[in-house]
Amino acid sequence: MRYFIVGYPKMYNMQYGIYDYRIIEPKTFEEAQKVGRQLSREVIEEFCHPNEEWYSHKDYVEEHNIEKWDNEYIEDYEAIVDSIINEQIEYKIYEVKSEVNEEAIRLWANSDDDVNEFVERYCTKDGEW
């Protein structure tokens, strides 16, 4: 079985084109979940710039009442940013209909249709995994 996996930041819920997808044949549900988490994390890091937009060095300094940034804080800071990213990781996994061929997928990928249209057209109705 092939699955359409979409990863995105929870705050955008697949809107504004802030998502990424893969179509894979995972051996296990855990493998599909791993792909979903990774896609979401990559989208968050590329489009949301969490260590600039969501929680910067300046934010850390102010929150911890520190006079200025020092690299000794890097591990703690990165753990906080990672936690913020993990809270925003979101993905969905859909089963692709068996009759959908590679040409249909390629045509969709080159169209202006969004992921919801792909799901509606090419995934099974009860296919969210």
Per residue, what are the HEC states of 36-83?
A: HHHHHHHHHHHHHCHHHHHCCHHHHHHHCCCCCCCHHHHHHHHHHHHH
Report d(CA 109, CA 118) in Å as an integer. Answer: 9
- The neighbour count for residue 86, using CB atoms within 10 Å, is 12
Phi, psi dihedrals of residue 106, rounded to the nearest 5°: -60, -45
Question: Could you give the 3-state DSSP secondary structure of residue 114?
Answer: coil
Report d(CA 47, CA 54) in Å as an integer. Answer: 12
Range of the domain at 31: 3-128
The predicted structure's pLDDT at residue 93: 96
**pLDDT tens for the chain, residues 1 to 129:** 899 999 999 998 888 889 999 999 999 999 999 999 999 999 999 998 998 889 998 899 889 998 888 888 899 999 999 999 999 999 999 999 999 999 999 999 898 888 999 999 999 976 566
The predicted structure's pLDDT at residue 96: 95
Q: Which two tokens stand for residue 31?
A: 């493998």
What is the domain count for the chain? 1
Helix (H) / strand (E) element for 6: namely strand 3-9
The predicted structure's pLDDT at residue 113: 86
The DSSP 8-state label assigned to residue 112 in this structure reads: S
The pTM of the full predicted model, rounded to 2 decimals, is 0.85
Report d(CA 38, CA 33) in Å as an integer. Answer: 9
Taking the CA of residue 113 as centre, how many other CA atoms within 13 Å lie in the half-sphere pointing to its CB? 16
